[in-house]
Structure 1
Amino acid sequence: MLFRKLSVGVALASATALTAATALTAGIAMHGAPAAESASFRVAAEPNVQFQTWLYPGGPGEPVCTAAAEYADDRVKNGALNPEYWSVASSGSVTLETTADGTCNTYSSQNVADLKAHSAHQYPTLSGMDTASVRALVSSEAKRTAAIEKVTSLVVSAGLSGVDVDLEDYWSWSTADFTNYKTFLQELATSLHSKEKRLQVDAPAMTEDAAFYDYAAVAATGVDDLVIMAYDEEYDTAKGEACLPIAPYSWLEQVTTYAQSKVATSKLIMALPSYGYSAPSPCDTDAVTGNIHFNDMKQKPGFSADPATVESRRDPSSGEIRWTANGTLYDYVDQTAMDRKLALLVSHGVTKVSVWTLGGGNPWFTR
């Protein structure tokens, strides 16, 4: 199973454009405040932002299994928790993942109760990470019907808010795959809405029109929230170049404004990263190790918690902490970087923000 959420970045903004993002990196804050004050700007904006976050399954002792202890501080008490409850098999069948399998963050009555105790909304995720599995599900009326009945039944019986659909590998989809995907979403939305439940759909980060995915067409299926996964830009690094950050400010701004040009902001949830990665330097995107939890990042060669060292490593184009040791680049998103990315989103009128991911001590916004 793939736990890394992939994004598709198509273009970068001009390095000389003085946008909200470049203003941050230049030390010229949005709304007239210096960049160093972005955390206080975020705190002021927090009452207007609804947060949610994903949780994915793991075995005993894995970093992700600390997620429940992290959200127990009620960081999303007025927002949403999205645990992965269902996975799509290569046959297209949908399996309920349960704590009886020895995994954390999966379905059980106790897990449901804990989610409800610490969030206002719960959207368990239906996850399919490769084209073959997605195709097998969405191309078959029988498979679609079985999946829809299964997820709707559990959401209703458990009193959850709705479903989060995360079917990926978008860039490998055919035109028929995308058409069948939209049919599945429309049928699922109809089923959920008939029970007064909601549908969220996770979508790739895009900066211009592409053949494999269309935000407006997906939104038109009856989706309640389109969740734009605005991270993992490092995978779009040109061969032989230094690996890009996870979510550069200029790219994040482009992703946001492009999404807003296709879908009403009220239907958008912009997703930010809280994790790290490592890669050879210069970059080899086939050798990127993604989704490194912060507690694991602290064990990497050359890691430093010294404030002066951290600031010396802060990348001006993204706010992320980057350094190279023994020919390997390390990059992670700390709290300050999260605050500044959030400030950029808020400056564009975004009011709903998701985070990938909880667990392993990954940072959260200043509160």
Structure 2
Amino acid sequence: MLRRTIVMATAATCAVAAASAAVTVANAGTTSAHRTAATYRGSSTTSGVALETWLYGGSTGDSECTAASEYADNRVLTGALKPEYWSVTSKGTVTLETATSGTCNGYSAANVADLKAHSAYQYPTVSGMTTADVHALVSSSSKRGAAVSQLTSLVTGANLSGVDVDLEDYWSWSTADFTNYRTFLGQLANSLHAKGKKLLVDAPAMTADASFYDYAAVSAVGVDELEIMAYDEEFDTASGARCLPITPYAWLKQVTTYAQSKVPDPNKLVIGLPSYGISAPDPCDLNNVTGNIQYSDMKKSPGFSTDPATVAARRDASSGEIRWVSGGTLYDYVDSTALNAKLAVLKSLGVTKVSVWSLGGGNPWFTG
């Protein structure tokens, strides 16, 4: 998920435990240096796939502040950049995070111009991470209306492509919350479409029907792209077991095929892939999983190695991820080889749009 907090709470989901992987991953190194725009545009790994990627704000000097220098290599020159510009408050209002307030990657005229120079589309994200915050926004007609007006006004005035909505904690929503959420999305879609803009909506990874979320019902309210966040499967780990990988291949396939059954138009379906790491007690303690660890910080983990033989020995066959245990803690991260292999799974299923969480901290990107 688009998680900005580090220690994540347990989430009971409907995902099926991953089976043995059907994809074999070549033993390779951890990541590569930035490549030229021509390399990315001509890459056989990503050919035929429209790429998107998220970035989020931080304080000066934070690792996420390197995001702009990373997309400057034009890796998504023909794709989309999705900076987190807004957050939902506990009162249900939407706050704009600006560069002038000291937030790197925040909104400013200069940052907007930079996004446009390095991408074909720009969809700033509005983020709400708790059920209480989401409820406060979507349950109030006046607050929905104010948010719709605020979001539409900024993307229209700045000539951006649309809005990416990331309202989470889905598993704790009531039926009324989901109904009001759909109402909010429908109102925002109508407002954006009237200005020639698009609505993207981030959705949880699912493998079967569930009471808390319905892909088809969300898509039907005028959503232009439903973005399935196919990561954080570690939160489905059985008690007493080692944490599952972030995105096992078999689970990724289940998530994708289920989503395709609900949103059959490939132009409206985006699958999100992870580029980050986690750490957790071994055996897994779901209340103490540290997520969204950027590569620059992962390199500081006990036992981290770039030795090719060590990396090869640690590469997990079920996910392609690099996993090892040191001092009773499991470390797991997605390198470029694993990212390439996950993309290959999606391409084999006919997926044509992929988004990556996230830029910043030197997180790996597709290669080859």
**Does TM, scored on the shorter chain, surpass 0.5?**
yes
Aligned residue number for residue 308 of structure 1: 309
Identity over the aligned pairs, expressed in percent? 66
1:112-191 aligned within 5 A = 112-191=112-191
- Deviation, 1:4, is 5.3
1:217 and 2:217 equivalent?
yes
2: CA distance, partners of 1:167 / 1:136: 12
SS at match of 2:115: helix
- Deviation, 1:43, is 3.7
CA offsets, 1:237-273, max 9 Å, x none?
1121100000000000000000000002221000000
- Deviation, 1:36, is 6.8
Aligned residue number for residue 24 of structure 1: 23
| C-alpha spacing 1:13/1:296, structure 2 compared with 1 (3 Å) | closer
Aligned residue number for residue 287 of structure 1: 288
- Deviation, 1:108, is 0.3
2: CA distance, partners of 1:132 / 1:208: 26
Could you tell me whether the CA contact under 8 Å between 1:205 and 1:230 is conserved in 2? yes
Compare 317-326 and 260-269 and name the one that shifted more. 260-269
CA offsets, 1:272-294, max 9 Å, x none?
00000000000001011101111
SS at match of 2:116: helix
Unpaired segments of 5 or more residues in structure 2? 29-41
**Matched AA of 1:269:** V
Could you tell me whether the CA contact under 8 Å between 1:276 and 1:292 is conserved in 2? yes
Aligned residue number for residue 252 of structure 1: 252
| C-alpha spacing 1:276/1:13, structure 2 compared with 1 (3 Å) | closer
| C-alpha spacing 1:294/1:9, structure 2 compared with 1 (3 Å) | farther
TM-score (norm 2): 0.92
| 4+ residue segments displaced more than 6 Å | none
Compare 3-12 and 45-54 and name the one that shifted more. 3-12
**Matched AA of 1:59:** S
- Deviation, 1:96, is 0.8
Could you tell me whether the CA contact under 8 Å between 2:3 and 2:292 is conserved in 1? no
Could you tell me whether the CA contact under 8 Å between 1:9 and 1:233 is conserved in 2? no
- Deviation, 1:10, is 1.6
**Matched AA of 2:15:** V
Could you tell me whether the CA contact under 8 Å between 2:199 and 2:223 is conserved in 1? yes
Q: Which has the higher contact order (CA 8 A, sep 6+)?
A: 2
Aligned residue number for residue 343 of structure 2: 342
SS at match of 1:269: strand
2: CA distance, partners of 1:140 / 1:23: 47
CA offsets, 1:25-66, max 9 Å, x none?
3x7xxxxxxx579xxxx9425231111100011001111000
1:330 and 2:331 equivalent?
yes
Aligned residue number for residue 35 of structure 2: none
**Matched AA of 2:281:** P
2: CA distance, partners of 1:289 / 1:151: 32
1:361 and 2:362 equivalent?
yes
Could you tell me whether the CA contact under 8 Å between 2:278 and 2:332 is conserved in 1? yes
2: CA distance, partners of 1:324 / 1:89: 38
Could you tell me whether the CA contact under 8 Å between 2:14 and 2:207 is conserved in 1? yes
1: CA distance, partners of 2:195 / 2:84: 21
Aligned residue number for residue 19 of structure 1: none
2: CA distance, partners of 1:208 / 1:232: 17
**Matched AA of 1:158:** A
- Deviation, 1:101, is 1.1
Could you tell me whether the CA contact under 8 Å between 1:202 and 1:228 is conserved in 2? yes
1: CA distance, partners of 2:346 / 2:325: 29
**Matched AA of 1:321:** I
**Matched AA of 1:160:** L
**Matched AA of 1:12:** A
2: CA distance, partners of 1:151 / 1:55: 18
1:4-19 aligned within 5 A = 8=13, 10-15=15-20
TM-score (norm 1): 0.92
Q: RMSD value over aligned CA atoms?
A: 1.8
SS at match of 1:349: coil
**Matched AA of 1:228:** I
Unpaired segments of 5 or more residues in structure 1? 16-21, 28-34
How many residue pairs are counted as aligned between the two chains? 350
- Deviation, 1:23, is 3.0
SS at match of 1:144: helix
2: CA distance, partners of 1:13 / 1:320: 14
2: CA distance, partners of 1:13 / 1:362: 25
Could you tell me whether the CA contact under 8 Å between 1:127 and 1:165 is conserved in 2? yes
1: CA distance, partners of 2:88 / 2:27: 44
1: CA distance, partners of 2:167 / 2:310: 40
1:194 and 2:191 equivalent?
no
2: CA distance, partners of 1:244 / 1:9: 15
2: CA distance, partners of 1:361 / 1:45: 20
CA offsets, 1:192-248, max 9 Å, x none?
000000000000000000000000000001000000000011111112110000000
CA offsets, 1:161-188, max 9 Å, x none?
0000000000000000000000000000
| C-alpha spacing 1:312/1:214, structure 2 compared with 1 (3 Å) | same
Aligned residue number for residue 69 of structure 1: 69
| C-alpha spacing 1:275/1:303, structure 2 compared with 1 (3 Å) | same
- Deviation, 1:12, is 2.7
Could you tell me whether the CA contact under 8 Å between 1:127 and 1:167 is conserved in 2? yes
